[in-house]
Amino acid sequence: MAEQVDPCALLLKNSGEKTVELAMATAQEVVNRLDNVVLNIAISGETGAGKSSLVNAIRGLTDTDDGAAPTGVTQTTSEPTPYPHPTMENVTIWDLPGTGEPGFKPKKYIKTVQFKTYDFFIIVSATRFRQNDIVLAKEIKRNKKKFYFVRTKIDRDVEEEVKKGVLEEQTLPTIREDCEKNLNELESPPVFLITSRDLSRFDFQNLVETLEAELPEHKTQALVLSLPVYSQRSLEKKYNIFKKAAWASAITAGAVGGIPVPMVSIAFEFTVILSFLTKCYFSFGLDDKTLAKLSKRVDQPIQEMVRESSLVMAVAEKTFNAKKVAARLSATGGMDALCSILPVAGCIVGVAMSFITTQRALLEGLNEFHKLAKKVIEMAKLE
């Protein structure tokens, strides 16, 4: 005989709280953080350094996509310009005016920049960092904000040196040392070498890990979920965040699962499941736009492979079709589990039973998306 699971005990174990009521309150806080944390990233630097391309790359866009920040070697940004994340509306990347224009006045620029708006600054250069960058960094520090120096277009530098017979392993330390030496007024802070063309190369992962170590936890979570999947490591970080949050989403569904109106309960649980899986779908880069670009870039049928998943197709519908999701879950027993709460709806046990069944459905969907995203990484040959 199968071992009986105490639904209330399991709910409390997942939440770490002593009562169901406290567990529900904590869960709501976790869900709110997942949905509503505001993150503002400021990108500054000289005109033509690749600021706008970095803005686009962080948002998972190319320079030619609809909604991309305009790029060019001339000044394209005259005032701080917000670019909302395409799928996380509370995350915004700001393209600040260039600091290297003729007649540039640091004091006026600093007055224009609203330091309190941003969580941190990325100061960009395609060559050496100059005095204007140092002045800005000092002012950022004075305003008790974090700043990070990023040297862009590294792929082009490496390619030019390779033509001369110089290996990449020799070129990168030379560039890094030159940049850091030029920042000795600031005690030579680390410089991250990146290319916006391919975030999987060079130091982008190191930059993200530095941000994770220095940002508050809730801001770090927003950052990790908003970045495109550029490596196996970045995918695993996203997966772990969603896995830890699944219990909270399940409990919020369970709160309605205790209502003695079965169809209301079931409908709400489907809403929770679809909302959660939609976040996973976009964060894992399983949407058609992302996959179409990736498939073209690496010349692999990645989009076709992912679209074979009936769960992906169900979540991809612009108007969520509960019947499709129900059919998909019934194949794994998820639907039967959801229906099993009906006899006990209307009590604390009903909340706990709803939690168990909804959490199982969430984790089944999350694991399927994770498996698909891993296949995408393998096909795209991302490290």
Average pLDDT per run of 10 along the chain, which is 383 residues long?
Answer: 55 64 72 84 88 92 86 64 91 85 67 85 91 87 92 94 92 92 88 93 94 92 93 94 86 54 48 85 93 90 91 74 53 46 40 66 90 94 76
Task: Give the pLDDT of residue 205.
Answer: 92
In a domain, 290, yes or no: yes
Q: Sign (positive/negative) of CA torsion 234, 239, 244, 245?
A: positive
Number of independent structural domains in the chain: 2
* 377 neighbors 234 (Cβ within 8 angstroms): no
Domain-terminating residue out of 226, 244, 260: 226
Check whether residue 160 and residue 141 sit in a common domain. yes
Show which of 226, 258, 276 is a domain's final residue: 226
User: What pLDDT is recorded for position 211?
Assistant: 94
24 found inside a domain:
yes
1 lies in a domain? no
Same domain for 97 and 183, yes or no, is yes
Please check whether residues 198 and 242 belong to one and the same domain. no
Compute the distance between CA of residue 237 and CA of residue 205 in angstroms, rounded to an integer: 12
CB 179 within 8 A of CB 129: yes
pLDDT recorded at residue 74: 53
Q: What is the pLDDT of residue 100?
A: 64
Q: Is residue 2 part of a domain?
A: no
Q: Token pair for residue 189?
A: 């802070």
Structure tokens at 348: 């604390």
Q: Please give the DSSP secondary-structure letter assigned to residue 49.
A: S
Identify whether residues 340 and 240 lie together within a single domain: yes
- The confidence score (pLDDT) of residue 77 equals 56
Instruction: List the alpha helices (DSSP H) in the chain.
Output: 7-15, 20-36, 51-58, 106-112, 131-142, 154-163, 168-181, 204-214, 217-226, 232-257, 262-283, 288-298, 302-307, 310-316, 322-330, 334-339, 348-380
Identify whether residues 202 and 257 lie together within a single domain.
no
pLDDT at 304: 92
Residue 90 lies inside a defined structural domain of this protein = yes
Q: Is residue 205 part of a domain?
A: yes
Q: Decide if 311 is inside a domain.
A: yes
Which pLDDT score is estimated for 327?
54
Q: Provide the domain limits for residue 283.
A: 7-35+229-380
pLDDT at 72: 64
Residues 112 and 196: their CA atoms lie apart, in Å, by 27
pLDDT of residue 344: 39
Residue after which a domain boundary falls, among 172, 207, 226 = 226
Whether residues 72 and 168 fall in one domain: yes
Q: What pLDDT score was predicted for residue 14?
A: 66
Residues 233 and 306 in one domain: yes
Which burial class, exposed, middle or buried, applies to 320 when counting CB atoms under 10 A from its CB (0-12, 13-18, 19+)? middle
Residue 190 sits in a domain whose CATH number is 3.40.50.300
**Residue 294 contacts by C-beta under 8 Å, 6 or more apart in sequence?**
285, 302, 303, 376, 380
* 200 shares a domain with 86: yes
CB 365 within 8 A of CB 273: yes
User: What phi, psi does 193 have (nearest 5°)?
Assistant: -95, 125
Same domain, 161 and 52: yes
Token pair 């866009």 in the structure block, residue = 61
**Do 212 and 297 fall into the same domain?**
no
- Distance CA(147)–CA(140), nearest Å, equals 7
- Same domain membership, residue 250 and residue 111: no
Phi, psi of 173 (to 5 degrees): -60, -35
Domain match, 150 and 190 both: yes
Amino acid in the structure at residue 117: T
Does a structural domain hold residue 15?
yes
